[in-house]
Chain A
Amino acid sequence: MRRIFLASLLLPVHFFASTGVTEAQTRVTRVTVQDNSALGSPLAINGTVTLRETISNGIVRTAISEDILSRNISGKTILTLVVWVDVKPSYSSPRHFTRQYECFFAADVISSGTEHPLSQANVPETGEPYDPSAAPRSPSAVVTVVYVQFLDGSIFGHEAFGEDIQRMRRMTLKHLRSLDRIYTSFGEAAFTQELNETVEPADVETFFENIRQTLRQQGAQIAIVRIRTSLKFAEDRQAGFSHRKSRGEDSGSERE
């Protein structure tokens, strides 16, 4: 009887603790970013990632807020950059982000000594079933530079990690050339029609949507100038790569 009585006193405490799983519980953690890049990485990385995890009604919702900055310490200009950002929250599933930055068609490049943000402002919030039996892990955020192409065509990292962005570069270049040809051969109307066609994949489509805005706001003549400017940057850079190759320097090496 004594045991029953004592148990009756303890039971409310137990239930208050266990109902914490079904009622909203929020945990906010800020972790310092670790740089997991290979030796000789052209970027110095620092920053923090803030994780806000809320457990409610059997669902864990996770919001990620990033403040990650890189600095080009290579002494060379970076044209293309691919990094991985791996975030492990305490309760929800790990997230693996790939961030790709391509400056092949633009005036802006990542010059030596300059900073380049790696944060994404609008990381989507997730919600997934909460497993109360799983022990919470120690949260972490790790950044890895996996592929860099410099202005001279040399590479840091492994080419395989640059395949996706290189494929998009080829598709963008092909479509730019096609648009230039159509403008020259068939005029503004045909050019406008072609430019307004949706392009696949979505990443390349975003590039051309930017030029479409110029078409809508300033007309075909300015839009074609932007296209030819892109082509000029691209062809100058390709020529730089070819020049390096002709001098016997391997632009496809795994390590710079």
Chain B
Amino acid sequence: MYSHPLIRTRYHFSLFVTLAIVNLVLVANLVADQNVALLSSSCQNQAGGGAARTCTWGNATGCRLGATSYFASPWSCSSTRCASYSDNSGCTYQNCCLTNTTVNDACTAFTGPIQVETTTCIKPPPDKCTPLVCR
């Protein structure tokens, strides 16, 4: 039977076996990584229960069908379509998912397009003392 010259010697045979073991270890690591990925995006009902499930994909806490938003903090997401918050600039930031933007029940895939994000800044009247304001 023909043998390649490289594996004719015991040294080269050992090298072959070592490489095979390294490959096995790498494959095992890869599988383990994928398991971690699946676990981190698994579905969990958060505290509160009922329909008010909260989720943040950003924090990899997962969500169930109907939980429509997946923003990390400061957005909270819920089974409602919109989440909003405001800051000191007088602007309101609103994130509304389209109705068909959901995750499947296994929390492994999104369906539908990305949500709509709206910032609205209604400038308030001056708060400094002016002849008009502090007369």
The answer to whether residues A203 and B126 also contact, given A5-B4, A95-B117, A127-B58 and a CB cut-off of 8 A, is: no
Contact partner, B87, options A16, A108, A122, Cβ 8 Å: A122
Name A203's contact: one of B92, B116, B135 (CB within 8 Å). B92
Which residues does chain B contribute within 8 Å of A114, judged by CB atoms? none
Chain A residues near B71 (CB-CB < 8 A): 124-126
How many angstroms between the C-alpha atoms of A102 and B70 in the bound complex? Answer: 29
The residue that B133 contacts in the complex, of A9, A104, A229, with Cβ under 8 A, is: A229
**Assembly CA distance A125 to B74 (angstroms):** 9
**Nearest CB in chain B: distance from A252 CB, A:** 21
Cβ of A107 < 8 Å from any Cβ of B?
yes
- Main DSSP-derived SS at the B contact region: mixed
Smallest Cβ-Cβ distance to B29: which chain A residue: A19
- Find residues 14-33 in chain A having any chain B CB closer than 8 Å to their own CB: 15-16, 18-19, 22-23
Size class of the A contact interface (CB-based, 8 Å): 35 or more
In the complex, whether B20 has a CB less than 8 A from a CB of chain A is yes
Select which of B37, B74, B84, B125 is within 8 A of A230 by beta carbon.
B125
Name the distance in Å between A228's Cβ and chain B's nearest Cβ.
9
> Is there contact, CB below 8 Å, between A233 and B58?
no
Identify which of B19, B72, B93, B95 contacts A12 (C-beta below 8 A). B19
A125 and chain B: residue at smallest CB distance: B72
Contact of B108 with A98 in the complex, beta carbons under 8 Å: no
A59 to chain B, nearest CB (A): 6
Within 8 A of B (CB), among A56-114: 57-59, 61, 93-108
Q: Mark A166-192, 1 if CB is under 8 A from B, else 0.
A: 001100100000000000000000000
CA distance in complex: A166, B91 (Å)? 16
A155 at the interface (CB under 8 A from B): no
Distance from B111 Cβ to chain A, minimum over Cβ atoms (Å): 11
On whether the beta carbons of A209 and B86 are closer than 8 Å, the reply is yes
Residue-by-residue, is A183-225 near B (CB-CB < 8 Å gives 1, otherwise 0)?
Answer: 0000000000000000000111111011100100000001001
Q: Is residue B100 within 8 Å, beta carbon to beta carbon, of the partner chain?
A: no
State the Cβ distance, B119 to closest chain A Cβ, in Å.
5
Asked whether B72 lies within 8 Å of A15 as measured between CB atoms, the reply is no
1/0 contact string of B76-92 vs chain A (CB within 8 Å): 00000000101100111
Q: Measuring CB to CB, which residues of chain A are less than 8 angstroms from any residue of chain B?
A: 1-2, 5, 8-9, 11-12, 15-16, 18-19, 22-23, 57-59, 61, 93-108, 120, 122, 124-129, 164-165, 168-169, 172, 202-207, 209-211, 214, 222, 225-227, 229-230, 232-233
